[in-house]
Structure 1
Amino acid sequence: MLRPEDLIHSINKKCKNLFYNKFYLIPSTGHYNISVYRIQGTANALNRFEIPFEPVKVLNWFDNFWVFLEVKFIYQELIVERKKVKQIHIYISLSIFEGEETDDIKNQLFRAEWDDYQNPNEKHSQPHWHITSHQALEKTFTEYSNSFDNGDFLALLEEEKEKLFDVKNIHFAMNGNWQNDESHIHKLDDIDKITKWLQGVLKHIRVELEQ
């Protein structure tokens, strides 16, 4: 079984060079059966993972781009054929933000996630992307409306938003291996594989952002 402390050690060791050795995952508030590790950030942001939005600390990467990374382990005991079987469910969430250091509400552009529910019938591709960049435009319109004290404009904006299809809840496949007749689900069961995936995603994102 994959040991959480070994995975965190591997991520910290092999990803720090991508952040000039500033990258480090540290324990965060968890629960009796949940362990959470988060990046040691230096600036404020809002993680729009679920409502209410959660204040988090993000780490500056380059220019005005910021990173938030969370790795969560949920421990569960099942009874299989009258025997206790331990399981560890792993959830990885990597978010990219854009904004000035002094901006408390930085724009959350997108998330890369890899969750392991250990469910062979899982319908969402693992790993996957979530796109949230449209929220930056919403913020701009809201601030514009408030600056002119124009409640009618804000109401019109909300009305138009209701007409749009919100893509933030879609799990866009990142590594669906359909061309080889394989599943869209990849298990989180190998430390080296997980760490290389995270390194690759970060390198790929930086190339795209620097264009």
Structure 2
Amino acid sequence: MRSFILIFVLLVFTRAICKGEDPIPKPWPEQFHAMLYVNLTTTGKLQIDDLWYDLPNGRNFNILQGQLSEVLYDLEWDNGTSFYYTLGDGGTCRRVSFPVGLLRPDFLSDATYLGRVNTDGFLCDLWQKLDFIWYYEDVASKRPVRWDFFTGMSMHVMTFEVGAVLPDPAWQAPVYCFPETEPRDEPPRATGGPHDLFRQLSLLIKNSGKRTSSN
């Protein structure tokens, strides 16, 4: 009789766990530094993304090292302005204006939970947002592990330093980004890179919020 009661209690407890609410992705810290291994997939190219996210100061920096190619600096500001530039002899700069600011720490709110999977050697919770991004988070540490995008691009988080801040002088775009004749901002154009996709995601989230409020 006691064995039957024990089994019944265990079954009830297990069922309660199974009916528990889905886990919620941990919001990004307002400031962090991450090193990302990026497989662009569609082009067959690889990148290292040295990412500095600094929301309190309204800025985000992707320092992109392409495989056997020059470094591209993508400096983003929360007012929608981005500078894409290279350094050294023959350095170039392009200024682009976007209709959205930086991606917010809670951008995964209302994401669809897909369950637990093993990836990159970690047991992860997996969410999908707007059929645009698939986000893997380590169950044990709650750190991001991997981000996949609808384009086929995947980003693998190699390091993740919460609270790390890049010194202010490093955020200054080179002087040739500010010619005496004020340049006209270029319209955004799709490149398939991580900087482009995160801006697209911000715009999707903004527009989905508008549709929700109008319904």
TM-score when normalising by structure 2: 0.28
Ranked by relative contact order (alpha carbons within 8 Å, sequence separation 6 or more), the top structure is 2
Point out the structure with max Rg over C-alpha.
Answer: 2
TM-score when normalising by structure 1: 0.29
Return the structure number with greater helix share.
Answer: 1
